[in-house]
Amino acid sequence: MKPSTELIDGHYLPSNSRNAVKMPLYLSSNYVFNSAQEAKELFQQKGVQSEENDNDHEKPAGMIYSRLEHPNLILAESRLAAYEGADAALFFESGMAAISTLFMGMLAPGDTVLHTSPLYGGTDQLLRGLLQRWGVHLMEYAPHESMEEIIARIEGMKNTPSIRMIYVETPANPTLQTVDFGQVMELKARIGRLTSRLPVTSCDNTLLGPVFQKPLQHGIDIGIYSATKFLGGHSDLIAGALVCSRDTANLLRGVRSQMGGTASPHTSWLITRSMETLELRMEASQRNAVQIVEFLKGQPQVQQLFYPGLLPADHPHHGQASGNGSLLSFELRGGQTAAFRFLDSLGLIRHAVSLGGTESMACHSATTTHSNVPAEIRQIYGVSDGLIRLSVGIEHVEDLIADLRQALKAANTGAH
Residue 210 contacts residue 77 (beta carbons within 8 Å): no
Closest distance between ligand PLP and the C-beta of residue 372, in Å? 13
Contact pattern from residue 199 through residue 218 relative to ligand PLP, giving x for each residue in contact according to CB under 6 A and a dash for the rest:
-----x-x------------
228 belongs to the binding site for ligand PLP (CB under 6 A)? yes
Beta bridge partners of 88: 244
Residue 58 contacts residue 22 (beta carbons within 8 Å): no
Q: Segment contacting ligand PLP (CB under 6 A): 40-48, 117-125, 318-326, 374-382? A: 117-125
Q: Which residues have CB under 8 Å from 48's CB, separation 6+? A: 250, 253, 254
Closest distance between ligand PLP and the C-beta of residue 169, in Å? 6
Closest distance between ligand PLP and the C-beta of residue 98, in Å? 8
Closest distance between ligand PLP and the C-beta of residue 123, in Å? 6
The strands making up 302-306's β-sheet, listed across from edge to edge, are: 302-306, 327-332, 387-391, 361-364, 350-351
Write the DSSP symbol of residue 239: -
C-alpha–C-alpha distance, residues 373 and 107, integer Å:
23
Q: Which listed residue (49, 55, 94, 391) binds ligand PLP by CB under 6 A?
A: 94
Q: Segment contacting ligand PLP (CB under 6 A): 71-79, 115-123, 266-274, 385-393? A: 115-123
65 in helix, strand or coil? strand
Residue list 350-369, contact with ligand PLP (CB under 6 A): 354
C-alpha–C-alpha distance, residues 258 and 111, integer Å:
22
Contact pattern from residue 150 through residue 169 relative to ligand PLP, giving x for each residue in contact according to CB under 6 A and a dash for the rest:
-------------------x
Beta bridge partners of 241: 91, 225
Closest distance between ligand PLP and the C-beta of residue 250, in Å? 23
Q: Which listed residue (101, 116, 173, 248) binds ligand PLP by CB under 6 A?
A: 173
* Sign, CA torsion 38/250/356/342: positive
Burial of 186-201, coded b for 16+ CB within 10 Å and e otherwise, reads ebbeebeeebeeebbb
96 belongs to the binding site for ligand PLP (CB under 6 A)? yes
> What does DSSP say about strands 240-244 and 88-92: parallel, antiparallel, or unpaired?
antiparallel
The residue (of 131 and 408) whose beta carbon lies closer to ligand PLP is 131
DSSP 12-64: --GGGGTT-SSPPP---SB---S-HHHHHHHHHHTT---TTTTT-TTSPPP--
Closest distance between ligand PLP and the C-beta of residue 118, in Å? 10
The residue (of 185 and 352) whose beta carbon lies closer to ligand PLP is 352
Q: Segment contacting ligand PLP (CB under 6 A): 6-14, 19-27, 89-97, 265-273? A: 89-97
Q: Which listed residue (78, 226, 274, 320) binds ligand PLP by CB under 6 A?
A: 226
Q: Which residues have CB under 8 Å from 244's CB, separation 6+? A: 86, 87, 88, 90, 216, 221, 222, 223, 252
Closest distance between ligand PLP and the C-beta of residue 295, in Å? 24
Q: Which listed residue (171, 215, 233, 240) binds ligand PLP by CB under 6 A?
A: 240
C-alpha–C-alpha distance, residues 43 and 66, integer Å:
14
334 belongs to the binding site for ligand PLP (CB under 6 A)? no
Closest distance between ligand PLP and the C-beta of residue 43, in Å? 31
| Site residues, ligand PLP (CB under 6 A) | 94-96, 120, 122-123, 169, 173, 204, 206, 226, 228, 238, 240, 354
